[in-house]
């Protein structure tokens, strides 16, 4: 896509990322959570309704996004010094952008003091760094944020609350012991607001605002903890029809052992708290967008919104992620372009998209050169014409479990570690994935075609 004029300055880029946000946890999609600011991005940009994570697991998903490679290839790209590792963020920096990350990256181990490893993020192209660990790790990993907690005398309260949750009932929904102004997602949002307000450089800026929520624990602070009525939350999806003699896989182990001993009302309360966390983040996003508007820069800023993976949130009696069902594998993916790009606004594309496609998209919008090794593909052509296709299918992996998913607009297939089809869903007839067709007669041609697509993908250089 060409800008309206070659004299138009390169756009600023605001990347907003959440952790463990379901694809349907948007007002403009599921309707059960209020997200007016994210909805505004969708109304002024393009929302991708068939976006999948490259792995429904934190680190592999984020590493795939960083390097433009599938999880099985991460180790190959991670050999050698960090300065050589694939990173579209470094491409932006080398193209003249001032680069910044505020929040959770999970691109290196969360232990000790995150500030001791700031050099890793510098090598990946991120100049200004204010990193936090995830919600659980923040109980013992130091950062600028935990220094504030310690100074306010509340870090111990947070540590005790986290330990009690994890050792008794990890899915319990109750407000955080932290005051609202010190809650992690408020910290990230306000640090981003400060950075954007105070930026005075001559270069275009790239600011990655990476929230640690709505990842569990379900500890939305007040007033967000009471924002939603549990009785108004959507009912969880259940697997209604499942062949007893099909091959088995990781999901079966979780279904048989059970993630949680949910008591009546637990899932509804968990979902209401989760919705509160999403709305809290949306409010922080609104403040950041307001600052960009105050700077007079919104009309020359690309705004992208994604999440690393989803959250089961009680569907199939599960919570967290690590499976390929909709709630865990599909993600929100929205891109809003400046008016100078003359792109359609308010469109919903059903093109098949993978999370890592975001990197080359931002690189192309910055008029920088893409990494020729990358398996990721820019969605800029779809932003120009939301009706056009992008990928034949989306691929997602759980590398340590050796499971892989392939999904088209019509079908989803999951192979277990032995290469057997153990999940097969007709997404058009059964979009909620309640009827598993694996092992049933009459779908041999579908399985054969999906295997062919997957084999071609696995054999490609990535």
pLDDT, tens digit (0-9, with 9 covering 90-100), for 94-105: 999 999 999 999
CA gyration radius, the chain: 21
What is the H or E stretch that residue 18 is in? strand 12-19
pLDDT confidence band for 86 (50 / 70 / 90): confident
Cβ atoms within 10 A of the Cβ of 245, count?
Answer: 6
What is the H or E stretch that residue 90 is in? helix 88-94
Q: Given strand 403-407, what is the order of strands in its sheet?
A: 394-398, 403-407, 411-415, 421-426
* Whole-angstrom distance, CA of residue 1 vs CA of residue 331: 25
Query: Are 42 and 28 spatial neighbours (Cβ–Cβ below 8 Å)?
Result: yes
Q: What is the pLDDT of residues 323-348, one digit of tens each?
A: 999 999 999 999 999 998 888 899 99
Cβ atoms within 10 A of the Cβ of 241, count?
Answer: 10
| Average pLDDT of the residues in 241-267 | 91
* Domain extent listing, the chain: 12-391
| pLDDT, position 287 | 98
pLDDT over threshold 60, residue 84: no
Range with the lowest mean pLDDT among 158-162, 202-206, 311-315, 456-460? 456-460
| pLDDT, position 8 | 74
pLDDT confidence band for 83 (50 / 70 / 90): very low
Query: Are 147 and 127 spatial neighbours (Cβ–Cβ below 8 Å)?
Result: no
**Beta strands 12-19 and 205-214: pairing type?**
parallel
Query: Are 417 and 403 spatial neighbours (Cβ–Cβ below 8 Å)?
Result: yes
Q: Look up the CATH superfamily of 12-391.
A: Alkaline Phosphatase, subunit A (3.40.720.10)
The pLDDT > 70 percentage for the chain reads: 96
Q: What is the pLDDT of residues 46-80, one digit of tens each?
A: 999 999 999 999 999 999 999 999 999 886 555 44
| pLDDT, position 76 | 56
pLDDT confidence band for 462 (50 / 70 / 90): very low
Q: What is the pLDDT of residues 268-303, one digit of tens each?
A: 999 999 999 999 999 999 999 999 999 999 999 999
* Whole-angstrom distance, CA of residue 107 vs CA of residue 129: 13
pLDDT over threshold 70, residue 180: yes
Q: What is the mean pLDDT of the chain?
A: 94
Residue with tokens 């041999």: 444
| pLDDT, position 5 | 46
Quick one: tokens of 406? 């392939």
pLDDT confidence band for 2 (50 / 70 / 90): very low
* Whole-angstrom distance, CA of residue 401 vs CA of residue 59: 14
Is the N-terminal amide bond of 214 cis, ω within 30° of 0? yes
| Average pLDDT of the residues in 248-265 | 90
Cβ atoms within 10 A of the Cβ of 294, count?
Answer: 11
């Amino acid at each position: 896509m060409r800008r309206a004029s070659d004299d138009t300055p390169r756009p600023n880029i605001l990347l907003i990322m959440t952790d463990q946000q379901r694809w349907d946890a948007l007002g403009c999609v599921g309707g059960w959570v209020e997200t007016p600011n994210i909805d505004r991005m969708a109304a002024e940009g393009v929302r991708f309704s068939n976006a999948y994570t490259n792995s429904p697991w934190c680190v592999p998903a984020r590493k795939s996004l960083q390097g433009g490679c599938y999880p099985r290839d991460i180790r190959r790209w991670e050999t050698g010094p960090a300065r050589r590792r694939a990173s579209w963020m470094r491409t932006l920096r080398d193209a003249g952008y001032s680069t910044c990350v505020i929040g959770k990256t999970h691109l290196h181990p969360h232990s000790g003091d995150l500030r001791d490893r700031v050099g890793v993020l510098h090598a990946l192209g991120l100049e200004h760094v204010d990193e936090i660990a995830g919600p659980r790790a923040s109980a013992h990993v130091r950062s600028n944020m935990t220094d504030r907690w310690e100074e306010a005398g509340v870090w111990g309260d947070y540590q005790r609350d986290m330990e009690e949750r994890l050792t008794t009932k990890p899915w319990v929904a109750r407000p955080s012991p932290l005051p609202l102004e010190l809650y992690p997602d408020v910290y990230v949002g306000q640090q981003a607001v400060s950075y954007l307000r105070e930026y005075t450089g001559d270069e275009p800026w790239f600011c990655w605002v990476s929230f640690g929520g709505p990842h569990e624990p379900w500890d939305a602070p007040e007033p967000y903890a009471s924002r939603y009525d549990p009785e108004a939350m959507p009912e969880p999806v259940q697997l209604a029809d499942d062949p007893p003699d099909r091959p088995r896989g990781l999901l079966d182990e979780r279904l048989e052992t059970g993630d949680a001993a949910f008591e009546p009302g637990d899932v509804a309360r968990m979902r209401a708290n989760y919705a509160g966390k999403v709305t809290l983040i949306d409010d922080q996003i609104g403040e950041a967008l307001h600052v960009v508007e105050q700077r007079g820069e919104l009309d020359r800023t690309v705004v992208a919104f994604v999440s690393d993976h989803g959250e089961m949130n009680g569907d199939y009696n599960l919570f967290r992620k690590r499976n390929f069902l909709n709630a865990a594998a599909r993600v929100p993916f929205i891109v809003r372009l400046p008016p100078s790009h003359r792109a359609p606004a308010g469109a919903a594309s059903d093109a098949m998209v993978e999370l890592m496609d975001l990197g080359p998209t931002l690189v192309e919008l910055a008029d920088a050169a893409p990494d020729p090794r990358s398996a990721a593909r820019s969605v800029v052509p779809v932003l120009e014409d939301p009706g056009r296709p992008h990928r034949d299918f989306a691929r997602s992996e759980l590398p340590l479990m050796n499971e892989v998913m392939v999904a088209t607009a019509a079908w989803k297939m999951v192979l277990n570690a032995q290469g057997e089809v153990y999940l097969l869903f007709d997404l058009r007839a059964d979009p909620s994935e309640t009827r598993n067709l694996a092992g049933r007669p009459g779908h041999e041609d579908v399985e054969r075609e999906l295997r062919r697509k997957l084999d071609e993908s696995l054999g490609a250089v990535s």
